[in-house]
Structure 1
């Protein structure tokens, strides 16, 4: 968790997740094009240089978190990659606004969604290609949805989507298609495999059901929940008695912005406000620090919770769904004092 005591995650420490194999290991920019087709007046084929020179460069600092981050902590266990808490990161993404690109193509009347496909292609015809979709209204109303070509001031790393990837701030990483190559504007709701039945949550306010049960109805996963973590000291560490210990961590949500972080050094009985770091934007990790002087030796459980601008927070008990998504329980570390 050492990388989550700071707001910006280094490129080399960013998590990597693919759905189909083989994955691209090189891209020839002489032949790569971003194609915009479908219900548009002017189909486009854009080079990387076109993205850089024909559209305003826009930057947004945003968390990219796998939908199944922390799935390995679900009880009862669920199928899927058994992530701990590391399938997330925060970076400054820079590129062209997706709505500017669609405006250049001229979205035609009757357009409903746009689909997004990348260079990663399945080896066998029985494996569905990884294609995602967004509502056209969602794209045109949000100036922060980008086709990004930079990550923390450098070209996108290959394993994080070079030469261009979709960035959908506030929404889970399943929508952040890497190695983006094709955008198609369509006149219907796209419901192929990676939109339905995959990446669905229960159709209710909490996105949850009773453990071990199945939801009656589902919807595509979308906005991230509130989360906060203790990055330092790490669980199991020994801290001194009677001397200040600086605790550090991060908090984030789906785009309302973190307003407060609270820490409890007695397992959640009493709470105190942490100091918040610089505000890098409503989609970003928000650093926090808290100074604690342990009074006596023994074991201590330190817990953290965050509140966003509309009062959403984390629960004491984890919510459950059969896909292992949306975890936002109050997190803790156990320390040894003395």
Structure 2
């Protein structure tokens, strides 16, 4: 994690003012003025059609999964453009429909309370002024990314593979903020709550918790910037939690409350929501299986993808063809990315691109020669802990943690 000077940046201040002025008032427009173009997602049982939209404020062309609350998927072609995902095409996922449509960086505060020596409140400018700035490259991935490929199908957003993004996050260490409040002995967990609210008053606010040791590990951040820009409102302006190596359900947007707890958090969003079978890294069970122990979802697992070729594409036969893509190690770095064109019987190494840190996407590339006819490229990531993508997909009722070896079907001519 890189450190930077903690003097507030006038450019950052100007960006915040510009972002706040935009607001989300255009969301009502987005509901009635969706782009006419569509895209076919290659989901099981035939392609599923989705609309492409440019109608959401601060966003370029996105795949519309849901309007309210907004679920916007990154088009797959974006991932071939670079290791960092453009801010205007970074995926969007909210849980409740009542999200703020405007947000002032001057008045929105995060409150540090609970099992602490003193209660503190900070605006984004307070954080900029009083704490050391840090920068970290990290993948943000929805727990249900690729849920649309689960068979049997499960309830929830039918994402393809585009509910993930990689960014350089700038902010402050959560550890430093907690230390300023003074965590008392006996603290067990730290709970986080943002500004989204359910439309039904009796529904539970979204609250997520980390162990106190994890919250103070020095990697968890409160971030106000991604890829050189202030966070868009739809991605959590003015600041959000960044939990590197863990699924995005913990990356609380529009962070409002940080509560230090002296007992385990058992609220709905920790149990039963966002839970997986207790056999990490598989998170696997048989449909209909009984007496399965579930635990809160937590660390990510390795994944890798081909980005420059789509299934159904034609390639030249008998000559080297460039194949490239991205990979990430989950909760640690990428050790190797290998490819196979014989159904996984043999694997060939690829060349890895620049390493931006253990939580970041990493690009890879290779050249392959194909015989004429139908061909399948399989890609497999091994992380620095030795964990490797499995050849068979997992299943669980939440549609979480898919990381099977991906296959791209080609025609060599």
TM-score, with structure 1 as normaliser: 0.96
User: Would the aligned equivalents of 1:212 and 1:322 in 2 still touch at CA under 8 Å?
Assistant: no
CA RMSD of aligned residues (A): 1.3
Aligned to 1:190: 265
Tell me which of 352, 356, 360 is aligned to 1:284.
360
Residues 64-92 of structure 1, C-alpha deviation per residue, up to 9 Å, x if partnerless? Answer: 00001111111111111111111111111
C-alpha separation in 2, matches of 1:67 and 1:263: 25
- SS of match in other structure, 2:307: strand
1:75 aligns with 2:151: yes
Q: In structure 2, how many angstroms separate the alpha carbons of the residues matched to 1:186 and 1:330?
A: 39
Residue 216 in 1 paired to residue 295 in 2?
no
Q: Which runs of 4+ in 1 moved over 4 A?
A: none
**Paired residue for 1:158?**
233
Given that residues 316 and 329 in structure 1 are in contact (C-alpha distance below 8 angstroms), is that contact kept between their aligned partners in structure 2?
yes
**Deviates most, 53-62 or 2-11:** 2-11
The whole-number CA distance in structure 1 between the counterparts of 2:241 and 2:402 is 24
Does structure 2 retain, via aligned residues, the 8 Å contact 1:214–1:322? no
**8 Å contact from structure 1 (residues 250, 287) kept in 2:** yes
Distance 1:305 1:215, change over 3 A: farther
Distance in structure 2 (CA, Å) of the matches to 1:233 and 1:208: 30
- Could you tell me which residue of structure 1 aligns to residue 71 of structure 2? none
Distance 2:358 2:210 in 1: 21
Matched, 1:202 2:273: no
Paired residue for 1:97? Answer: 173
Unaligned runs of 5+ in 1: none
Matches within 5 A, 1:1-338: 1-5=76-80, 6-140=82-216, 142-205=217-280, 206-294=282-370, 296-338=371-413
Figure out how many residues of one structure are paired with residues of the other and give that number: 336
Identify the structure with bigger relative contact order (alpha carbons < 8 Å, sequence gap 6+). Answer: 1
| Separation in structure 1 between the aligned mates of residue 356 and residue 306 of structure 2, nearest angstrom | 19
Q: CA deviation at 1:243?
A: 3.4
**Alignment check: 8 A CA contact 1:59 1:95 kept:** yes
SS of alignment partner, residue 176 of structure 2: helix
Shift of 1:172: 0.2
Deviation of residue 57 (structure 1)? Answer: 0.5
Q: CA deviation at 1:215?
A: 4.8
**C-alpha contact 1:76 1:212 (8 A) present in aligned 2:** no
Check conservation: 2:339, 2:377, Cα contact below 8 A. yes
Unaligned regions of 5+ residues in structure 2, if any? 1-75
TM-score norm. by structure 2 comes to 0.79
Query: Deviation at 1:29?
Result: 2.1
